[in-house]
A and B are shown apart, each in its own frame.
Chain A
Amino acid sequence: MSTTTTDLQNEIDAIEGSHISHNDHHHGPEKGLMRWVKTTNHKDIGTLYIWFAFTMLLIGGAMAMVIRAELFQPGLQLVEPQFFNQMTTLHGLIMVFGAIMPAFVGLANWQIPLMIGAKDMALPRMNNWSFWILPFAGAMLLSTMFMQGGGPAFGWTFYAPLSTTFAPASTDYFIFAIHMLGFSSIMGAINVIATIMNMRAPDMKLMDMPLFVWTWFITAFLLIAAMPVLAGAVTMMLTDRNFGTSFFDAAGGGDPVLFQHIFWFFGHPEVYIMILPAFGIVSQIIPTFARKPLFGYSSMVYATASIALLSFVVWGHHMFLAGMPIGGQLYFMYATILISVPTGVKVFNWVTTMWRGSMSFETPMLWAVAFVILFTIGGFSGLMLGIAPADIQYQDTYFVVAHFHYVLVTGALFSIIAAVFYWLPKWCGRMYNEKLAKIHFWWAIISVNVLFFPQHFLGLAGMPRRIPDYSLQFADFNMISSIGGFAFGASFILLTYIIVDCIRNGEPVKDARVWESAKGLEWTVPTPAPYHTFDKPPSKELILAESSHIHVEGVH
């Protein structure tokens, strides 16, 4: 590369300078509440998404506290079984559709334009709509709890006929809430694809893109292919409930198992929708704090794409006991286990990136390392569940609960927390309290394992999920799990304080590059990130210099 470091520094200075001198002819944010309602700015919309997700996380978390309180001791303690079922159902739905997915879309909104040198998302007005559907859909979903007959109580997977023949009247509101959430996700995904394909700096090739951008790019395709199928499933539910169709009724020639096939055709890609962006986040953070380029960049990209493709052909592993020909069981088992190959590639690459790096453990790195270890535990229990004959024992027990909480809480959620700590100083120009953040990390990491690890044992011993009472031999582990649960729940009070304290009173950060060895275009704009960035696309030299992976001359 012929460009010298000084040239690049000059360009970075120019990018920073341009924001200062051009401020006058730019429209800054509007004043007042209407700014947030009308906004077309990717940073505003990202902020809205993240706060919405955080609110839903706290609501869904409160429901989890009800569940753990009821399970603290055997016997029926606090709530009616019907209400307990509503809690498990709504907890799952709110965490999946209200917390994890919107949080990732919020991160995408903030970061993708910054990371590819684009001035905004490709379709800004539609971007606003994608967000503003969510509060209405979330409210509709939550309102079901207060309706006659109670809210949905059939589990977050809403299997027919529990959700058709035997469901409360509020189920129809639930159906439309899902329609709206899906519509929002599809528009969000279309926007991500259009942004990455069309708004990328002209000199940024696909294989120059940071991994967070790559993983979101692939996730967006998963969303576009999977969410409409969910819309189809709830539409069939709606007509079965109200208009006399018999999709899921064997008396009319349909099949309740058909529901499970359609649901999991959506549901399995959905779990990767919730984890691929997490892979991207961790792939950004680890190189920064290991002070080494990401190991195996291109294999990361191919592994992500392979996981995404495989995710569409493995749905049957959720239904091994629903009634399936033996050939189907074998196929779904082998296809499922095949996914461990690209996932293994990823874990190997993260570990290898850290290998002999000059590691330091600021809070984002702690969360990222915790992700790698704990997500891998969740991955391993997933392998166990993927083995069809073994699944006969695990199916519908707390082992499954432990498994998917390891991948979704210590996986997806931890990556989101890591991302917020990593990028928050760039967003608001202030540094969080490192000491408190570390205390919070250790508090959360210990309590979350106290919460979920014993659930493996409970499940292996045969404790069924979604039941408010249990037999006496499960008492000890349930009490331990509940204590961990309350502690983990309380840790979010501290997290809320740390975040709010950072935004309001944090130490101001002046450096554009908040973390001294961070690479990426987002670190070339001033801190805090101005309302409008990258009016001029960055140069090829800058793009390559800011790449967090190694470029082979002539290959990139």
Chain B
Amino acid sequence: MQSRLDYFVPEGSYWPILGSVGMAAMLGGFASSLHGNTAGTVSMILGFGIIIFMVFGWIGQVINESETGTYNLQVDKSFRIGMGWFIFSEVMFFAAFFGALFYARTLSVPWLGGDGNNLYTGEVLWPEFKSVWPLIQMPDSTNFTVPKGIIEAWHIPALNTLTLLTSGATLTYAHWSLMNKNRIGLIGGLIATIILGVIFLGLQVAEYMEAYQHLDLKLTSGIYGSTFFMLTGFHGLHVTLGTIMLIVILMRAIRGHFREDRHFGFEAVAWYWHFVDVVWLGLFIVVYWL
């Protein structure tokens, strides 16, 4: 094992400041575009471009440093700790939305219907309102879209569960292959995982189209639509990110990167993928099924 003296402290870098500029341009532009400002939209797109450039440049430099043997095992451990706790912070982000769903389902919607000591809430505000879940008929749907139905758990979502669970298995197969110096298995497993990820995303798009075009189930469909689309939407965004990261890992694998005992980049993406997988299981159970 290398000595601690070799812990790599990089030279100064322009990537972070570039990222900050991109982030400010993108988010400031987004806020501005929300108020109908075209320059805001331009700034948003430009900022997004800067961020993409920064991410690829920064990670490219890290990959380069990694491949030229700059990192010792201690650096490797820092990356592991960093990625692990980053994923935990993502879990907490999703927890906020799951919490909103649980709160609406078990507390606020029943209370609006007069549950608990809220008899008069129901009587005074919306006497017609009946508390049911899924909430189709909102207390006052003037500003919202009343859906005709909801997505059935055992159609597309069940298929998607199968897809993602299988992709977890193929990714693990790729990992085993990597550790057993089976490069063909590694690349094959990665390709299978990416294909499954893309299938998942395609099915998710089909599901959204079904919801919007046939069921009138929209983001604006009251608390049901809000929690449904925000939870599945953020999950879909994470699958998209994960798929892009897997593609990068595939490219690296094809170029012969990763040793059987040192392949943190692969593992980090695998952790992320499994995290996305687990979130989906939660979604399938509490959003679609129950």
Binding site for B on A (CB under 8 A): 27, 30, 34-35, 37-41, 119-120, 122-126, 128-129, 132-133, 135-137, 139-140, 169, 172-173, 175-176, 179-180, 183, 186, 189-191, 193-194, 197-199, 202, 224-229, 231-233, 235-236, 239, 242-247, 249-255, 257-258, 261-262, 265, 325, 535-537
Contact = CB atoms under 8 A, between A and B. Distances in A.
Most buried by A among B15, B100, B138, B220: B100
Among B15, B30, B223, max chain A CB count under 10 A is at B223
A68 to B, nearest CB: 32
Main secondary structure of the interface of A (DSSP, over half): helix
Interface of B: 4-5, 7, 9-17, 19-21, 23-24, 27-28, 30-31, 34-35, 58, 74, 77-79, 81-82, 85-86, 88-93, 95-97, 99-100, 103-104, 107-109, 111-112, 116-117, 125, 135, 138-144, 218-220, 222-227, 229-230
A125 B13 contact: yes
B14 A253 contact: no
Nearest to A140: B28
SS class, residues of chain B in contact with chain A: helix
B14 A38 contact: yes
Nearest to A236: B100
18 contacts: A38-B17, A39-B12, A40-B12, A125-B13, A172-B31, A176-B31, A190-B82, A226-B92, A227-B89, A228-B89, A228-B93, A228-B96, A243-B219, A247-B226, A252-B139, A253-B138, A254-B223, A255-B111
B7 A246 contact: no
Nearest to B14: A38
Nearest to A176: B27
B27 A245 contact: no
Nearest to A241: B34
Q: What are the 10 A-B residue pairs with the smallest beta carbon separation, nearest first? A: A232-B96, A38-B12, A129-B16, A244-B220, A253-B223, A255-B108, A245-B226, A176-B27, A252-B222, A228-B93
Contacts of A228: 89-93, 95-96
A236 B139 CA distance: 20
B78 A123 contact: yes
A193 B85 contact: yes
A169 B219 contact: no
Contact of A180 (B12, B27, B74, B88): B27
Contacts of A258: 100, 103-104, 108
A382 B95 CA distance: 28
A402 to B, nearest CB: 31
A253 B135 contact: yes
A148 B79 CA distance: 44
B100 A125 contact: no
Given A123-B82, A125-B10, A251 B142 contact: yes
Nearest to A196: B81
Contacts of B27: 140, 176, 179-180
Which has the most chain A C-beta neighbours within 10 Å: B97, B144, B226? B226
B60 to A, nearest CB: 13
B11 to A, nearest CB: 7
Given A38-B13, A253-B109, 6 more contacts: A190-B82, A225-B88, A227-B89, A254-B104, A255-B103, A261-B103
Contacts of A183: 23
Contacts of B219: 239, 243-245
Contacts, number: 225
A147 to B, nearest CB: 10
B223 A252 contact: yes
A133 B27 CA distance: 12
A363 B79 CA distance: 40
Contacts of B28: 140, 173, 176
Contacts of A257: 108
Contacts of B9: 40-41, 119-120, 124
Nearest to B77: A198
Contact of A198 (B20, B58, B78, B89): B78
Contacts of A231: 93, 96
Contacts of B4: 202, 537
Contacts of B103: 255, 258, 261
Contact of B24 (A39, A180, A537): A180
Nearest to B108: A255
A146 to B, nearest CB: 14
B34 to A, nearest CB: 5
Contact of B230 (A176, A189, A239, A255): A239
A242 B226 CA distance: 12
B112 A40 contact: no
Nearest to A258: B103
A3 to B, nearest CB: 21
A254 B108 CA distance: 7
Given A172-B31, A246-B144, A122 B82 contact: yes
A129 B226 contact: no
B130 to A, nearest CB: 12
B221 to A, nearest CB: 8
A242 B34 contact: yes
B81 A122 contact: yes
A129 B223 contact: no
Contact of B81 (A197, A247, A253): A197
A122 to B, nearest CB: 4
A175 B112 contact: no
Contacts of B31: 172-173, 175-176
A243 B34 CA distance: 10
B78 A132 contact: no
A66 B143 CA distance: 40
Contacts of B17: 37-38, 128, 132
A233 B85 contact: no
A120 B9 CA distance: 7
B267 to A, nearest CB: 16
B252 to A, nearest CB: 20
B108 A252 contact: no
Contact of A253 (B77, B92, B95, B104): B104
A30 B220 CA distance: 54
Contacts of B100: 232, 236, 247, 258, 262
B99 to A, nearest CB: 7
Nearest to A189: B85
Contact of A176 (B13, B20, B30, B109): B30
B79 to A, nearest CB: 8
A217 B171 CA distance: 34
B12 A30 contact: yes
B106 to A, nearest CB: 12
Contacts of B125: 250
A245 B230 CA distance: 9
B120 to A, nearest CB: 12
B11 A119 contact: no
A35 B12 contact: yes
Contacts of A136: 20-21, 23-24
